[in-house]
């Protein structure tokens, strides 16, 4: 069954800069560092995770993930997103609205100290050899970015469902592996039995051929005795008997 991916959120507690009167900038995600996600698992965002999604995504910037408080939009050019060596860089032209002015004022006061992003994972990997498990996010579909007053990780249940799905897939793969191995063993045993049967048949044929050879020799010797071509001496009689015995022995082995 195909797993339906749900949206998740992650935050970064890094300074948000005010670059001009109405322009702010910061990072919504950083690469490489392993973050503890609610004590349930650790997570790394791999470099390149946003490369594909930034080519087509029309992303909006919100305040505290509130869709009613829009601060910018990539399609409109008021939100600019760039993936660099550090992570997902964000630049927003704040609107001249109550939310825009509030964000600007809160930044000046130091009340805002982070950004966040909403996304759907399209490719991740889990490593359960570590404790807690380690998740590496390779690619995402970016849905939104937000300026947040209190950076925090969202509900971990979505990611944990991804882990459960991976475990179920592992079980299914293991079951399929066992099925293939069982079929291979059955096929191997069948092949061995057929080979053994062919070997038995081949051996029986060989013994039967031997019996016919010895019997032919004995008959011909007897004919020579009868027509006087060979004296029926005691020695010749013994050879004929030996040939008959050899034929009988080979015939028994053939059967």
pLDDT on residue 78: 97
Q: Determine the pLDDT at residue 171.
A: 60
Q: Which range marks the domain in which residue 234 is found?
A: 181-254
Clarify whether residues 44 and 104 are in a common domain: yes
Q: Are residue 212 and residue 135 in the same domain, yes or no? A: no
Q: Give a yes or no: residue 81 inside a domain.
A: yes
Q: Which residues pair with 80 in a beta bridge?
A: 91
- How many C-alpha atoms does 145 have within 13 Å on its Cβ side? 31
Same domain, 31 and 112: yes
93 with 128, same domain? yes
Within a domain: 94: yes
For the chain, the C-alpha Rg in angstroms (whole number) is 42
- Residue 32: inside a domain: yes
Total count of domains within the chain = 2
Same domain, 207 and 245: yes
Q: In this structure, is residue 163 part of a structural domain?
A: no
Q: Reduced to 3 states, what is the DSSP secondary structure of residue 21?
A: coil
What's the CA gap between 157 and 209, in Å, rounded?
77
User: Same domain for 139 and 185?
Assistant: no
Same domain (yes/no): 110, 65: yes
User: Which domain-ending residue is among 120, 155, 190?
Assistant: 155
Residues 124 and 219 in one domain: no
Tell me, yes or no, whether 176 lies in a domain: no
The per-residue pLDDT for 156 is 39
State residue 153's pLDDT score. 52
**34 falls within a domain:** yes
Q: How far apart are CA 69 and CA 19, in angstroms?
A: 21
C-alpha dist (Å) from residue 40 to 37, 44, 168, 171: 6, 14, 18, 21
Q: Do both 29 and 149 map to the same domain?
A: yes
Question: What local confidence, expressed as pLDDT, does residue 19 receive?
Answer: 85
Q: What is the pLDDT of residues 225-241, one digit of tens each?
A: 677 777 767 777 787 78
Residue 214 within any structural domain of the chain: yes
Q: What pLDDT is attached to residue 88?
A: 94
Whether 63 and 125 share a structural domain: yes
Secondary structure class of 150 (helix, strand, coil): coil
Does one domain contain both 129 and 241?
Answer: no
Residues 43 and 149 in one domain: yes
- What stretches in the chain show pLDDT beneath 70? 1-5, 152-178, 180-181, 196-204, 206-208, 211, 225, 232, 250-251, 254-255
């Amino acid at each position: 069954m195909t797993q339906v991916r749900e949206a998740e959120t992650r935050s970064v507690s890094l300074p948000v800069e005010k670059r001009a009167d109405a322009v702010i900038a910061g990072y919504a995600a950083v690469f490489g560092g392993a973050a503890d996600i609610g004590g349930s698992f650790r997570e790394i965002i791999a470099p390149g995770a946003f490369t594909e999604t930034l080519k087509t995504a029309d992303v909006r910037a919100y305040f505290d993930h509130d869709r009613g408080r829009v601060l910018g939009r990539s399609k409109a050019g008021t939100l600019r997103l760039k993936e660099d060596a550090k992570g997902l860089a964000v630049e927003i032209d704040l609107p001249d609205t109550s939310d825009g002015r509030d964000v600007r004022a809160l930044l000046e006061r130091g009340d805002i100290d982070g950004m966040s992003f909403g996304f759907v994972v399209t490719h991740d990997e889990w490593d359960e050899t570590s404790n807690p498990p380690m998740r590496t996010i390779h690619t995402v579909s970016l849905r939104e970015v937000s300026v947040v007053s209190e950076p925090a990780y969202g509900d971990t249940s979505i990611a944990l469902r991804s882990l459960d799905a991976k475990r179920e897939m592992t079980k299914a793969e293991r079951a399929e592996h066992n099925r293939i191995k069982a079929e291979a063993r059955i096929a191997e045993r069948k092949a061995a039995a057929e080979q053994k049967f062919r070997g038995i048949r081949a051996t029986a044929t060989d013994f039967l051929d031997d019996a016919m050879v010895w019997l032919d020799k004995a008959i011909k010797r007897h004919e020579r005795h009868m027509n006087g071509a060979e004296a029926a001496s005691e020695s010749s009689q013994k050879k004929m008997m030996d040939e008959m015995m050899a034929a009988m022995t080979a015939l028994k082995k053939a059967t």
